[in-house]
């Protein structure tokens, strides 16, 4: 897909981390981007710093009304062609701990609701809007990029909820692409490894370096900019569809 100033995009979780890097990369291409995030102050600040090509909407990805409000904003900026889902949360807890206490069911459901159900909610509603646009070359109307994790394949001890949510995103990539192929909408997923996001930025530098040493090559943490670069490549290469791409430096996560 050719990216130009006529294109509108929505990025969930776009106020920080992987989402913010993706917002900036799209804006650099001239795309009008709507940042959809729970954190109003942060989303507003980012949009103001970027300028006229960025706007924002606040809400929960699993809430249909919130998502539709954000899509209204995005569609008001131009033809909605790009949706990148970066919003997500994590939770660490074993199925049963050493004292025999079972995993908190509330948190398992919460992680699934935000990561998996939220991703699907945005995908289905964004696709509905894309369907109303005029087709481009090859009858393409848009592309949806979801964010999974290497935890979908190599879930570590304590990652059962997170891994289940990300595995679900991987699992729905191909059937979603098949469902949306008649409309000319592509669906892809990025499965990042250990990325240098604000969350990892809270760790001491020696711990950050130790994490990077587990990567096959290059032996470092991935950057949000590398994620954004891959997202742009996915948008621009129309023959990429129905696929999950690991962005992990060859990392295979150990049990812990």
Does residue 251 lie within any of the structural domains? Answer: no
The answer as to whether 136 is a domain residue is yes
The residue range of the domain holding 142 is: 7-245
Q: Report the domain count for the chain.
A: 1
The CATH number of the domain where 113 resides is what? 3.40.50.720
Q: Does a structural domain hold residue 122?
A: yes
Whether 252 is covered by a domain: the verdict is no
Q: Is residue 215 part of a domain?
A: yes
Task: List active site positions.
Answer: 162
In a domain, 256, yes or no: no
> Is residue 1 domain-resident?
no
Q: Is residue 127 part of a domain?
A: yes
What whole-number distance in Å separates Cα of residue 125 and Cα of residue 128? 5
pLDDT digits (tens), the chain, 256 positions: 989 888 999 999 999 999 999 999 999 999 999 999 999 999 999 999 999 999 999 999 999 999 999 999 999 999 999 999 999 999 999 999 999 999 999 999 999 999 999 999 999 999 999 999 999 999 999 999 999 999 999 999 999 999 999 999 999 999 999 999 999 999 999 999 999 987 676 667 877 788 889 999 999 999 999 999 999 999 999 999 999 999 999 999 889 8
């Amino acid at each position: 897909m050719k990216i130009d100033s006529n294109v509108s995009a929505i990025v969930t979780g776009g106020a920080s981390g992987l989402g913010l890097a993706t917002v900036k990369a799209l804006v650099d291409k001239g795309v009008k981007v709507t940042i959809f995030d729970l954190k109003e102050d942060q989303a507003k600040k980012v949009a103001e710093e970027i300028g006229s090509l960025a706007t924002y909407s606040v809400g929960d990805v699993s809430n249909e009304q919130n998502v539709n409000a954000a899509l209204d904003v995005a569609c008001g900026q131009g033809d909605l062609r790009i949706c990148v889902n970066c919003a997500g949360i994590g939770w660490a807890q074993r199925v049963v701990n050493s004292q025999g206490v079972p995993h908190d069911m509330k948190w398992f459901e919460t992680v699934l609701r935000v990561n998996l159900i939220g991703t699907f909610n945005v995908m289905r509603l964004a696709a509905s809007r894309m369907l109303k646009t005029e087709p481009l070359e090859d009858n393409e109307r848009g592309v949806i990029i979801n964010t999974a994790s290497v935890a979908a394949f190599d879930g570590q001890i304590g990652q059962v909820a997170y891994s289940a949510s990300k595995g679900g995103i991987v699992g729905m990539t191909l059937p979603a692409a098949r469902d949306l192929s008649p409309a000319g909408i592509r669906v892809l997923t990025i499965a990042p490894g250990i990325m240098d996001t604000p969350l990892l930025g809270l760790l001491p530098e020696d711990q950050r370096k130790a994490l990077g040493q587990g990567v096959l090559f290059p032996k470092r943490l991935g950057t949000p900019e590398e994620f954004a670069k891959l997202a742009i490549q996915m948008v621009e290469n129309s023959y990429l569809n129905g696929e999950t791409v690991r962005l992990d430096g060859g990392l295979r996560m150990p049990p812990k």
